[in-house]
Amino acid sequence: MGLAGFEVEIERSRNGGGVVTEDMTLNMGPQHPSTHGVLRFVVRADGEVMKSAVPDVGYLHRSIEKIAEKVGWHGFIPYTDRVDYVAAMFCNHGWAMAAEKLAGIEVPKRAEYCRVIADELCRLHSHLLSVGSMAMDIGAFTPFTHAIREREYLNDLFEELCGARLTFHYMRIGGVGWDLPPGWAEKVLAFLDRFEAMIDEYNRLISYNKIFVERLANVAVITAAEAIDYNLVGPNLRGSGVRYDVRKDDPYSVYPELDFEVPVGRGEMGTLGDSFDRYIVRMEEMKQSCRIIRQALRQIPKGPVIAKVPRNFKPPAGDCYVRLESARGDMGWYVVSDGTAFPHRCKIRTGSFSGISIIEHVSRDLMIADLVAVIASLDLVAPEIDR
Amino acid sequence: MPLDAARIHARLAERFGDAVSAPAGQGRDAWLEVRPERIADVAVFLRDEPDLAFDCLSNLSGVDYPKQGHIQVVYHLFSYRHRHWIVLKVNALRDDPVVPTVSGVWSHANWQERECFDLLGVRFTGHPDLRRLLMPEDWPGHPLRKDFVEPQEYHGISTSRESLLKV
């Protein structure tokens, strides 16, 4: 496979009349405003229609899995923030869950509630960026400014909670770093009151806008069987009509105590599993997240927020695989301990990784401009692919 | 109906005999060891038998065990139909790790095996496109191997720098 770069590959084919057509090889990225990070596509196109779009990744590879083997169990938590810096809470949470499972640590109830509240706020944080930048990629700039404005309030809430606005380093093995600050819960509720109305406004502004719908409906249809075969997860999987959510079907933390629904794609604007379904699932999930946060703030018990965990943490030898529902879906952590102060191996399987691997399959016969919509609808975040 | 590891092993033993070991480990992390040369057949069997129906490869990881002299490829399989799990482990020789591909069984395996090849040097025979995925094409060695030594420079770019703190 020639991935060398800018050369124009000329493939000559003759039909009966002797007309010669040329396939164009285009290089999209690595620096491209719609690629949500640094990634590259090698597009073979016949005019405006793509014959293939082959992703080339690795530009953001930082060997995070190798770093895990060098820095020890506690020391790795800030690095997990960088796995997916658009939804860092989930990476904190996944690593903590894996370490706790290996060492058999029971997390205090209050800490679990703090985690769920932080996770769901982070889901809003991530989905806002996803749907906002999706509208922008398609050519509507105003919705992006709306989404970023709401996200700014969330940043303030996170800053008050843990001191950081993006890479949170909030969770610890055995619990969370800090309890909810005084008066913070009221601020979250005030934000939710405002934000739930904003979701409706957002739907009026863009979701059912005719041009927006036309750009997404029936584009890059992924069937349920294909989605499972490529291990698509989260909103990408549910967009294809598969009602599966780790929070519901393989529950962890305190999710069994909380009441919420799992929205799935219905093909309401076109075919089930098209780009619009993946988009609208995220919009509906944000409403559910608000519902979860309200319940969690009501039910949160008093008590400690971290279990006793030795500073020199050495979980017994063994391996475990934990999963949690991140903003981009089922995120898997395979962690091997050899009983020492350093993990033997940490493999992170992320939603964007499987999302990008299906692009070559779904991009055939799409227009070049649709590739941008497909990337956005799969909510690909490059650092999470490359780690 | 979800099956546990012992039942899944019993189904595999009928067909593959001692190529699949008895289950070890607890609950969700219960695993079976499979001989490398049989893994592709085992994968097809697990996917296609209606009572097993493992339609999803959830994760594929490579782990280097230098003391034991092997590189282990770990497959986490999940069935959306029956909602059950099984973990398969394959030990390949560290000096020449060769494992048949399962990319024809689950499409997700294509990229996962490319990553495993890239970072650990496992050659998946029969893979349609076994190129490096994350590292540059001309990178020396496989970084997740325990004895990997980071090169001092890459195309004239130093990979280390002097400490700014003078002690």
ipTM for the complex shown: 0.89
The nearest alpha carbon in chain A to B132 belongs to: A58
Residue B135's closest chain A neighbor by CA? Answer: A58
Chain A interface includes B91 (CB < 8 A): no
CB contact under 8 A, B56 and A231: yes
pLDDT at A33: 64
Starting from the edge strand earliest in sequence, which strands make up the sheet with B85-93, in order? Answer: B31-33, B85-93, B70-78, B56-65
pLDDT at A16 over 60: no
> What is the distance in angstroms between the Cα of B115 and the nearest Cα belonging to chain A?
10
Pairing verdict, β B56-65 and B70-78:
antiparallel
A64/A324 Cα distance (integer angstroms): 19
CB B153 within 8 A of CB B159: yes
User: Is the CB of B53 inside 8 Å of chain A's CB atoms?
Assistant: no
Q: Looking at the predicted structure, is the pLDDT value of residue B46 above 80?
A: yes
Per-residue model confidence (pLDDT) at position A18: 60
B132 contacts in A (CB within 8 Å)?
58
Task: Please give the pLDDT value at position B24.
Answer: 84
- B134 → chain A, closest CA residue: A58
Phi, psi values for residue B96, rounded to 5°? -150, 75
pLDDT at A99: 92
For residue A263, give the amino acid letter: P
pLDDT at residue A14 in the model? 43
Query: What span, in angstroms and rounded, lies between the C-alpha atoms of A85 and A68?
Result: 17
Please indicate if any CB of chain A lies within 8 Å of the CB of B59: yes
A235: preceding bond cis by omega (within 30 degrees): no
pLDDT in tens, A226-272: 999 999 999 999 999 899 999 988 888 899 999 999 999 888 888 88
Distance CA A321, CA B77 (A): 11
Tokens of B158: 């130093």
Chain B nearest-CA residue for A3: B137
Q: What is the pLDDT of residue A381?
A: 86
Q: Which residues contact A61 (CB under 8 A, 6 or more apart)?
A: A386, A387, B134, B135
Half-sphere exposure in the Cβ direction for A263 (13 Å, CA) = 20
B48: contact with A, CB 8 A cutoff? no
Give the closest-approach CA distance of B109 to chain A in angstroms: 8
pLDDT at position A35: 62
Confidence of residue A2 (pLDDT cuts 50, 70, 90): very low
Instruction: State which residue of chain A sits closest to B82, comparing Cα positions.
Output: A249
User: What is the model's pLDDT at position A9?
Assistant: 45
Q: Sort out which chain B residues have CB atoms less than 8 A from A70's CB and list them.
A: none
Averaged pLDDT for residues B13-19: 83
By residue count, chain A amounts to 387
Set of chain B residues whose Cβ sits within 8 Å of the Cβ of A231: 56-58, 106, 108
The tokens for A142 are 């105003």
* CA angle (A245 as vertex; A242, A251 as ends), nearest 5: 145
**Residue closest to A202 by CA, chosen among A137, A260, A128, A136:** A128
CB A81 within 8 A of CB A169: yes
Q: Would you call A326 helix, strand, or coil by DSSP?
A: strand
Closest CA in chain B for residue A67? B144
What are residue A34's phi and psi, to 5 degrees?
-100, 5
Q: B64 and A345 in contact by Cβ < 8 A?
A: yes
The pair of three-digit structure tokens given for residue A71, joined into one six-digit string: 């820095």
pLDDT digits (tens, 9 = 90+) for A350-382: 988 988 889 988 888 888 888 888 888 888 888
Cβ-defined contact of A353 to B83 (cutoff 8 Å): no
Are B106 and A231 an interchain contact pair (Cβ–Cβ within 8 Å)? Answer: yes
Beta carbons of B108 and A354 less than 8 Å apart: yes
Indicate the burial class of B155 (C-beta count within 10 angstroms; 0-12, 13-18, 19 or more). exposed
Q: What is the mean pLDDT of residues A106-123?
A: 92
pLDDT in tens, A26-74: 888 777 766 667 788 888 888 888 888 888 888 888 889 999 998 989 9
Beta-strand relationship, B85-93 and B31-33: parallel
Mean pLDDT across A281-298: 92
pLDDT band at A335; cut points 50, 70, 90: very high
Q: With cut-offs at 50, 70 and 90, classify the pLDDT of residue B117.
A: very high
* Candidates B58, B61, B108; nearest CB to A357: B108
What is the DSSP code (8-state) at residue A51?
Answer: E
CA distance B11 to B22: 11
pLDDT at res. B167: 65
Where does residue A372 rank: exposed (0-12), middle (13-18), buried (19+ CB within 10 A)? buried
Cβ proximity of A222 and A232 under 8 Å: yes
- Which pLDDT does position A296 carry in this prediction? 92
Tokens of A11: 């493939």
Give the residue carrying structure tokens 């990229």.
Answer: B111
Instruction: Establish if B110 touches chain A: CB-CB under 8 angstroms.
Output: yes
H-type alpha helices, A203-274: 210-216, 224-229, 234-239, 246-249
Does B159 score more than 50 pLDDT?
yes
Q: What is the mean pLDDT of chain A?
A: 87
